[in-house]
Structure 1
Amino acid sequence: MAIPSTPPPGKTSPQTPMTSKPKLRWGIVILLLIGAVINYLDRSNLSVANTTIAEQFQLSSTQMGLLLSAFLWPYAIANLPAGWLVDRFGPRKMFAWASGLWSIATLISAFVNSYSLLYAMRMLLGVSESPFFTSALKSNERWFAKKERGLPTSIINTGSQIANAIAPPLLTALMLTMSWRGMFIVIGVAGLLLMIIWLKIYRDPTFAEQQLIHTSDHEQTNTTSVNQPQREAQTSQTPTASWSSLFKHKSTWFMIIGNFGIMFTIWVYLTWLPSYLEKEQGFTLKETGWIASIPFIAGIIGVLVGGIISDYFIRKGVHPITSRKVPIVGGAILAAASVAPIPFIDNTVLSIVLLSVGYFASQLPSGVIWTLAADIAPGDQVASLGAIQNFGGFLGAALAPIITGLILDQTGSFNNVFLLGAGLLLLGAISYGFFLKKPIERTASPT
């Protein structure tokens, strides 16, 4: 009598019936959420220690702007190969390498004694953090159906906002009790612990789990596009396209331009808000630690609301791309309307309210932008397109601290910074709203 074959340990046979979607996927989302918090604390530590480090190393505003951008340029450029690497090697390996390397860079930063070495470690931090969000995007693409991805992607992206909200009071407290060097050490050790836990927990879904997860991927689409199961079937039957082929499509370029405009203003907040509150609003370092968290708390809500809005419209039968664009375009316009009046207001409370509304609105697109990449790209190029879009965003992010520093040295005021940010937010809204219209189809001619 033949003995029925059994799948290897940890695997599920294609014939094994499954009645509920695996709970592990939400555990992975929570772990990625924690990873996003640690990831952004690594980015925020220099902004919180901005004034202290500038005094210790005797830096001008322009020099500090260059140091604040030292993370961003390598991060933006490294996003391009990082997306391809995640598509090639998968989220488990790439996230492990990334979290380990960025933690080492942070630990080394705690012991440097020169501007040039600190600058070099910030560059290494940028390169090593580049695979994080593409790994999260790829993980969600594997573990969640299309109509479910908005919420988990937005949850993960709230990690950055949670970090930004707790960074001013938490990192300021660490800095006041342990010095800025001790603050760097604590964050670096947290990243190494994260890497160990990730390697213990993460795995890709089995065949049966994939079948169950993606049975709901049968959304109504217009006649000019192909639904996700059809696109995945095309992908599996077509040779893998080159990474550079994505640049042949206009959609890719409008995603780059749109994210550039939105991310510029976000990173003015992330790199210069504590300094703005100290220098222009007259708060002490201790007061700044708490007040700077207010806009970032609003940002946490903004990320979640953006994901909820886009998923709501999808459930109502609206095309996925249009559903994603609602919070992206609406958020960018509202953010521009909020930050533009700040230079003309001489009221501290109202300025902080407008800053908070502006940051809330600028975060409405955050998680949705990543989900949009999964809706636009062919199945095997999701991380690649997400990384290219993120590259465009972080070109804007890299310019934000430098241009802000130059404007401060020239004018002594943040007024022109806010006006420039409002203009770029509108550019982002126009790019996504008017020019991004349809998915990239492998069999179609570049459009």
Structure 2
Amino acid sequence: MKETISLSQPAAVAPPMQKISRLRWSIILVLLIAAVVNYLDRANLSIANTTISKEFGFSATQMGLLFSAFLWPYALANLPAGWLVDKFGPKKMFSWALGLWSGFTILAGFVNGYSMFYGLRMMLGISESPFFTSGIKITHRWFPSNERGLPTAIINTGSQIANAVAPPILTILLLTMGWRGMFIAIGLAGIPILLVWLKLYRNPTPAEEVQIHGDAEAAETQQANQPKASWGSLFKHKTTWFMILGNFSIMFTIWVYLTWLPSYLERSLGFSLMKTGWVASIPFFAGIMGVLVGGVISDRLIRRGTNTITARKIPIVCGAALAACFVAPIPFVHDTTLCIALLSLGYFCSQMPSGVIWKLATDIAPKSQVASLGAIQNFGGFLGAASAPIVTGIILDATGTFTNVFLFGAFLLMLGAISYGFFVKKPIQAAV
């Protein structure tokens, strides 16, 4: 069954805005917590990298392939996931996603070899694909266009909170419960969130749509909930392809951090496992601020009268370009404190685009294809994410150092800034 909103229902009695606000921010809070758990499920392998590779005798290239086992299916599954969210609605799709990814994470605690591990990471990637597309569909329904940047940034901040707390929390779980216990514990954390979600979430009523968006935008938003053109039609536009390229380029370096940072700190800077668990969290705390700063800048520019697309692009382009400038010198710095500072500044700037990129998709896409374009753009991003651990592993096996990893990442960050800055300019017209 599709989640539909009848246009014939009366909207004469407007609900109190305070009640609407309380409900929608409660929904955002649940999504934020779910995002934290979502990324803990992804980060656990990175934290247990050294332990698992020693236990099973995996090489750096094999570990890189294992990291990407989540990412390739996740990237590909984003294509139908966006369409499915547009078709069936965010409540149903997110409920299934949360239940399945929790189950696959628990099962990963019982693996006995590479093939089983690889298969479960693939299933984890597929099951997590509807999460962020559900998030942008929800903010599109519950927030007006000039207020969507902050809630979207908050949802995306969940991933950065998880990345910040993952190294110390998961390291403690790893040392006290073993890597298998760590996987099981994190998988179980998703169950209570699912129960709260099923109880809490609903779509806004037509009266609430009018309160939130105004009469004209509410009618347009309600009509947009009935998808018309297929998501494949979006590939006919050059803008879509440059959004794919831009997000690919930015996400590559982000996922070098997410998959190989603990190993870099151990191998290149000589930190112990326990110390790595705490130091690795510093760049990710900077990333939390980066996501929020990007969203706040974007919304503030819109309120000051800046063109919406330009306001979204400014933190994307500036963040990617500045991140490139901080990442490039890292392999040539020998002072540990300065190295951590550059890692943190680079990650802060690379995360400024994170939430805004999703909102750019809602501003560029036809109203009936908001989740679809967001998912396609995310598909491009996770092609870059999937490439990052493999390329890093190959470079490490070939050279033994991270030098070329950081230089290549800086190049791609600049390419991402150029793609969004010069080639993503105007909305895509809806297919007739």
TM-score between the two structures when normalised by the length of structure 1: 0.92
Q: 1:224 aligns to what? A: none
Say which of 230, 241, 263 aligns to 1:253.
Answer: 241
TM-score between the two structures when normalised by the length of structure 2: 0.95
Distance (Å, rounded) in 1 between the aligned partners of 2:342 and 2:177: 34
Distance (Å, rounded) in 1 between the aligned partners of 2:386 and 2:15: 47
Distance (Å, rounded) in 1 between the aligned partners of 2:202 and 2:348: 34
Q: CA deviation at 1:18?
A: 3.2
1:374-423 deviation digits (Å, cap 9, x = unpaired):
10111110000000000000000000000000000000000000000000
Q: CA deviation at 1:371?
A: 0.7
User: Cα–Cα, structure 1 residues 233 and 34, in superposed 2: closer, same or farther, change >3 Å?
Assistant: closer
Q: CA deviation at 1:17?
A: 2.8
- 1:314 and 2:302 correspond: yes
Partner of 1:302, secondary structure, is: helix
Distance (Å, rounded) in 2 between the aligned partners of 1:269 and 1:312: 29
- 1:15 and 2:12 correspond: yes
Partner of 2:426, secondary structure, is: coil
- 1:244 and 2:241 correspond: no
1:128-161 deviation digits (Å, cap 9, x = unpaired):
0000000011011110011000000000100000
Q: 2:379 aligns to what? A: 391
Distance (Å, rounded) in 1 between the aligned partners of 2:224 and 2:31: 27
Q: Contact between 2:366 and 2:430, CA under 8 Å: does it hold in 1?
A: yes
Q: 2:159 aligns to what? A: 160
Give ranges in structure 1 of 5+ residues lacking alignment. Answer: 1-11, 218-227
Say which of 310, 327, 333 aligns to 1:345.
Answer: 333
1:83-135 deviation digits (Å, cap 9, x = unpaired):
00000000000000000000110010001111110110000000000000000
Q: 1:211 aligns to what? A: 210
Describe how 1:83-232 pairs up with structure 2 within 5 A: 83-215=82-214
User: Cα–Cα, structure 1 residues 60 and 280, in superposed 2: closer, same or farther, change >3 Å?
Assistant: same
Query: What is the total number of aligned residue pairs between the two structures?
Result: 423
Q: Contact between 2:210 and 2:218, CA under 8 Å: does it hold in 1?
A: no
- 1:277 and 2:265 correspond: yes
- 1:295 and 2:283 correspond: yes
Q: Give the number of the structure whose residues are more often helix, by fraction.
A: 2
Distance (Å, rounded) in 2 between the aligned partners of 1:439 and 1:91: 24
Q: CA deviation at 1:443?
A: 5.9
% same residue: 67
User: Cα–Cα, structure 1 residues 256 and 31, in superposed 2: closer, same or farther, change >3 Å?
Assistant: same
Larger Rg: 1
Q: Contact between 1:232 and 1:378, CA under 8 Å: does it hold in 2?
A: no
Q: CA deviation at 1:242?
A: 1.4
Q: 2:413 aligns to what? A: 425
Q: Contact between 2:244 and 2:378, CA under 8 Å: does it hold in 1?
A: yes
Q: 1:358 aligns to what? A: 346
- 1:331 and 2:310 correspond: no
CA RMSD of aligned residues (A): 1.7
User: Cα–Cα, structure 1 residues 267 and 433, in superposed 2: closer, same or farther, change >3 Å?
Assistant: same
User: Cα–Cα, structure 1 residues 230 and 26, in superposed 2: closer, same or farther, change >3 Å?
Assistant: closer
Structure 1 runs of 4+ with >3 Å offset? 228-236
Distance (Å, rounded) in 1 between the aligned partners of 2:120 and 2:224: 39
Letter in 2 for 1:378: P
Say which of 333, 352, 356 aligns to 1:368.
Answer: 356
Q: Contact between 1:264 and 1:400, CA under 8 Å: does it hold in 2?
A: yes
1:222-248 deviation digits (Å, cap 9, x = unpaired):
xxxxxx679659858x98111100001
